[in-house]
Amino acid sequence: MSSPLVLVERKSYGARGHVAWVTVNKARRANCLDHETLIAFTDAVNEESKSPDLRAMVVTGAGERAFMAGADLNVIAGQDADGAKLFLTRVHLFCQSVRECPVPVIARINGACFGAALELVAACDLRIASDNAAFGMPEVNVGLPSVVEACLLPQLIGWGKTKHLVYTAETIDADKAMAWGLLESLVPQAELDAEVERVVSMIVHAAPTTMRLQKDLVRAWEGMGTEAAILEGIRVAERTYRLSNEPAEYAGAVLAGLKKKD
């Protein structure tokens, strides 16, 4: 469901299904986020998430300068308390849409990534950045605390580094983001799409029902203690066998390949 603000492209992988690319299309304004853009993005992700053939999703920003530069400062400066509540609720729904997508969501980070955009990145399953990317939580410098999905950052980078970002509003470069554990992959800008495709291809070639169940399980792990997470994993594995023939099909294919090598 494309719009002028948010483009959606479905890349086909034949019988394996498709991957949705969702792109904020405001390159001239560094893909900044206002009410309309947040709504368009959320609607696009939620609509794509309904497709049974969806295998993965990639979210990104148009151009080479910015992934998304965060909230539009005109919105921040021009709203009252009620407006702020509405805007931040929409930021939450924007992030929640990728967390609740039934397949893995990859953030393709092609430049500046600040504030609400970094919250979106934290909500994604995997983060792949080019070497020109930069990251920060500048809210305290514009009179606001960092809120909503900023609460996910400690799971990625720990409490100390999260506090550093939200207290100092410092911008960190891609190398530091990688060293801190914010990113799964960091590549030269010219190699960004190839790295995204490498990761997407591995996801697409996995068992589709199992992959969706795996994402559900990972989400469940986030809110569970160790013992509960182990028991939930056993339940989901049993459900995999009940819902599909994928364990026999995919494990059988691996066994056949091993026999050929012998």
DSSP calls for 28-41: GGTT-B-HHHHHHH
- 34-38, 94-98, 132-136, 254-258: the lowest-pLDDT one: 254-258
DSSP calls for 52-70: TTEEEEEEEESSSSEEE--
Q: Hey, which bits of 73-223 come out as E strands?
A: 105-109, 112-114, 126-130, 134-136, 172-173, 185-187
pLDDT at 109 over 80: yes
Q: How many whole angstroms separate alpha carbon 30 and alpha carbon 115?
A: 13
Task: Tell me the pLDDT of the chain averaged across its residues.
Answer: 94
pLDDT at 169 over 80: yes
Helix (H/G/I), strand (E/B), else coil: 251 = helix
Best mean pLDDT range from 46-55, 215-224, 229-238, 245-254: 46-55
Work out the average pLDDT over 249-255: 78
Q: Hey, which bits of the chain come out as E strands?
A: 6-12, 18-24, 54-61, 66-68, 105-109, 112-114, 126-130, 134-136, 172-173, 185-187
**DSSP 8-state symbol, 145:** -
Q: How many whole angstroms separate alpha carbon 121 and alpha carbon 216?
A: 18
Work out the average pLDDT over 16-31: 98
pLDDT at 247 over 80: no
Q: How many whole angstroms separate alpha carbon 22 and alpha carbon 68?
A: 12
Helix (H/G/I), strand (E/B), else coil: 98 = helix
Q: Locate 235 and state its tokens.
A: 């339940």
Q: How many whole angstroms separate alpha carbon 178 and alpha carbon 200?
A: 20
- The half-sphere exposure of 247 on its side-chain side, counting CA atoms within 13 A, is 10
Work out the average pLDDT over 7-33: 98
Task: List, for residues 134-165, the tens digit of each pLDDT value.
Answer: 999 999 999 999 999 999 999 999 999 999 99
The percentage of residues in the chain with a pLDDT greater than 70, rounded to a whole number, is: 99
Label residue 238 by pLDDT band (50, 70, 90).
confident
pLDDT at 249 over 90: no
Q: Locate 73 and state its tokens.
A: 């400062």
Residue 218: the pLDDT is 96
What does pTM read for this prediction? 0.92
Label residue 226 by pLDDT band (50, 70, 90).
confident
Work out the average pLDDT over 216-245: 85
* Sole residue written with tokens 């999260």: 162
Helix (H/G/I), strand (E/B), else coil: 250 = helix
Task: List, for residues 43-58, the tens digit of each pLDDT value.
Answer: 999 999 999 999 999 9
Task: List, for residues 174-186, the tens digit of each pLDDT value.
Answer: 999 999 999 999 9
Work out the average pLDDT over 216-222: 94
Catalytic residues: 119, 139
* Angle at the Cα of 42 from the Cα atoms of 36 and 43, rounded to 5 degrees: 90
